[in-house]
A and B are shown apart, each in its own frame.
Chain A
Amino acid sequence: MKVFLFHLMPYAHLDMGYAGKYRAAWVVLPNTYFDPKKGHELYNRYLDELELAAELGFDGVSVNEHHQNAYGLMPSPIVMAAALSRRVTQAKIAILGSAFCLRQHPLNIAEEHAMIDCITGGRLISGMVRGIGAEYFSTGANPAFSHARFQEAHDLVVQAWTRPGPFAFEGKFYHFDYVNMWPRPYQQPHPPIWAPSTGSVETIEWAAHPARKYTYLQAYSPTQSVVRYLNYYRECAQRMYGYRASSDQIGWSTPVYVSDTDQKAREEAKPHIECLFNRLLRLPFEMLFPPGYLSAKSLKNMRSHKRSVSGQEHTLDSLIEQGIIVCGSPETVRKQFMDTHRLLGFQNLLCLLQFGTLPRDLTEKNIRLFAREVMPALQELTDKEYAGQALHAAE
C-alpha cells in the first residue's frame, strides 16, 4: 500500500465566533477574518509538515484546491506543489485535485502540472475534480454545465499532454486554435490521473472506464460509504466494462489521529476535529449543491438524506463511530486500517494528519508516531492480505 500525507491547509486562526454572524466558512465569510501575517506562518508551517512526512518515508504528499474559504487555503494547489517540488526529493507529489473545469483556460493549469512533472522527474499525480458546489459561487462557473465541462476539460488536458501539437481543439465549451504544450509532461503518456470524490456513481463509472482506469479516491465518508463506493468501482469494472480492476485503482482518504493511548488520542484530537467538521466545513445545502451541480436524481437522494449538511453537529465520538475519522493508539489505528484493507483491498491511503485547529506540536507528534508505529505495517500490505482477492481466486 502507498501511504500519503494529505494536507488541507486550513485557516486555523479563524475566529470561530464567526458562526454567530455568518452562514458558512465559505463564499460569504469576509476575508477580513484572514490575517496575512498568520497566513505567512501557517503556509510555512504546513509546508514543513509535508516535507517532514516526505523525510519520514511517506510514499507521497498531497494538496488540493478550494476557493474563497477558511477550510483550505489553497486556491492554487499548484503553488504548493511547486514549493514542495525541490525539497521533496523522493516522494510523489499529488495534486488532488485541480478543478480544471472551473477555468476558462484549463490549459494554463495543464501547463503548470507538466512543469511540476518535469521539475520532479515524473513524481506528479494529477487529480481532476469538479470543485465543490461553493466553488461555483466563488468562481462564477455555471454549475448547470459542471459535469459536461469537467469531461471536456479532461479531454482537452489529456490531449494537450499527449498529442503532438500544434492542433486545434474544437469543443462545446473550449475552443483553441493552437494547442501545443511546452513543456510536455515528464511521465509518458501523462501523469497518473486520480479522481477524488465524496461518493458519486457517475464519477466512479467515468473513472473506471477501460480507456481511463483512473484511481478513484473516496474522501470524508462513513465506513459504509467507503465500502459501498470502493466495491462499486470493482463491480463496475467487472460488470460494465468486463475487466478486473487493480487495487491500485482505488484509495481512501481520511483524517487520522494517533497518540499513546486511545483515551489520550481522543482527548487531544477532540476540539480540533470537531472544529473541522462543525466550523470549517460549515456549508448550507444551497451552497454545497447549487442548482444543476447534481443530476436531478442525485439531488433528490441528497435531499431525502439531509436538507443541510451543517444541520448536524458532529462529535468526536460520532465521527469515530461512523468511521469518518480514525483515531486511537497506534495499535488501534493500525488494526483498523488493516481490517479495512482486508475488506476493501485499497492500495492507496491518504491520511489527513493535520486538521482544523490541530497545532504544530500535536501535528508533528501525530505525523512522527503514525510514520513510526502505523505506516510501516501498512506499506507492507498487498493484494495477498485482501480477502476479496482470495474470493476472486476461488471463483
Chain B
Amino acid sequence: MNQLRWDPTLREWVAYATHRQDRTFLPPAEYCPLCPTRPGGFPTEVPREHYDIVVFENRFPSFTPNAPEPDEGGSVLTPTAPGRGICEVVLYSDDHAATLATMSERRIGNLIEVWADRYEELGASEEVDYVFIFENKGEAIGVTLHHPHGQIYGYPFIPPRPAKELEAAREYRSQNENRCLHCDLLSQEHEDARRILTKGEHFTAFIPFYAHFPFEAHVYSRRCAPSLADLEAAERRDLASVLKRLLGGYDSLFGFSLPYMMVMHQAPTDDENYHGIAHFHIEFYPPNRTADKLKYLAGSETGAGAYIMDVLPERSAETLRGKIESQ
C-alpha cells in the first residue's frame, strides 16, 4: 500500500508504505541480499557472481509507479493521493565490507556517472517531480543493510526541504539582481575560509556558517550547475576527488567508519526552469558530536524545528580539516 496524506498544518505530504514494516533487517553478512549470488549460494537481489555498480527497484518501495487510488478518500481538508513515484537501490560495489570512503576515486567517479544517469532517466518520468539521491550509512542512522548502497527516491512532488531552499533562492534572486543564493554563500565561505574543509578545481567542501549538525559538510559545485546532469566530465572527476578526501577525513575523526546521511539537492524535474535558482550540491549530516555521543533530533529540533547546537562550525571545521589534511 502506497498512499499520500496531506498535512494541512505543515502543508506537506506524508507517505505511507505499510509493507515496509516487513523489510529485511540487519541480516548476517553471509545472508546479505545485496551481495552477488555466489555459485551454490542463496539467490540475492543480484543474479550475477560479480558486478561493478547495480541499480534495481526497491523491493519495499515508499513510492511505486502503479500505486492505486487510496481506499481512504480523505477530505477536502486532508486529501489523499496515490503514492506514485519510483524507489531505487544503488549498489556501490560487490564488496560487502567496502564503504564509499574506502572506494577508489575512480569508483566514486563511476558512481557519479550512474547517479547522473538515474537523475536524467527518472527525471524524464511523468510522475517524478524530484529525483532525490541519498545514502543512509551506519546503524546510528537506522540502516537495515550494511552492504555499501544508497537510494534514489523519485518523488511525485518537490519535497519540503528542497522546496523551502528553492523558494529562498528564488526570492533572493529576485531581490538581488538575479544573483544565485548558493553562489553568494559559497563566495562568502571562500572569503572567510575558516569553515573550508577541502577544495578541488571545481568543487568546495565546507561546514556552513549555519550548520545544523556538528560535522555537517556541504559540497558545492563552484559553477552554478543546476544538477548532476549539467556537470562536465572534469567537474565530475573533481567531485569524486573532493568526496574521497572528505570521507577519508570523516573516518579519521573518531577512528571508526563515521555514520552519516548524505543527500543531494538539485533541480526538480517538473519542467520548470531552475537556472540560477537550483545549484547542485551534496549535504552530509553525521549524527556524532563526539566518538560516543550523538546529536539527537529531540524536542526543539523535531517539535519546534529549531536546532540547538553545542559546538561552533568554525571549531568543527578546524578539527575535520586537520584530519583531511593529515591523510
Q: Do A and B bind each other?
A: no
Partner-A contacts on B (CB < 8 A): none
Partner-B contacts on A (CB < 8 A): none
